[in-house]
Amino acid sequence: MPGASPRAGLQLLGAARARAALQGRDYVTPDDIQALAVPVLAHRIEPVAAAGLEAQLEIVADALRDVPAR
């Protein structure tokens, strides 16, 4: 199963920086990344073709649950 491309990571970082700026911070927190990971990455994951969007959302959500924020 192909994962998200390196550009997807850059898009996630950019979105997290924007979220931090909107909240008055000049730094990104793990909460910023976790809040945006599903909306930014889900459509970039390619599970089995028939699985659809729900499977994509679940893949990203599972990864967030399984990987601790540091």
Question: What is the domain partition of the chain in residue ranges?
Answer: 6-66
pTM assigned to the model:
0.67
Average model confidence (pLDDT) across the chain: 82
Cα dihedral sign for 11, 37, 4, 55?
Answer: negative
Chain position carrying tokens 């990344």:
33
Chain position carrying tokens 């699985």:
51
Q: Which residues contact 34 (CB under 8 A, 6 or more apart)?
A: 64, 69
pLDDT surpassing 60 at residue 31:
yes
Neighbours of 13 (CB within 10 A): 15
pLDDT digits (tens, 9 = 90+) for 42-62: 777 665 555 666 777 787 788
Note the pLDDT of residue 1: 43
Q: How far apart are CA 46 and CA 55, in angstroms?
A: 9
Instruction: State which of 3-7, 8-12, 15-19 shows the largest mean pLDDT.
Output: 15-19
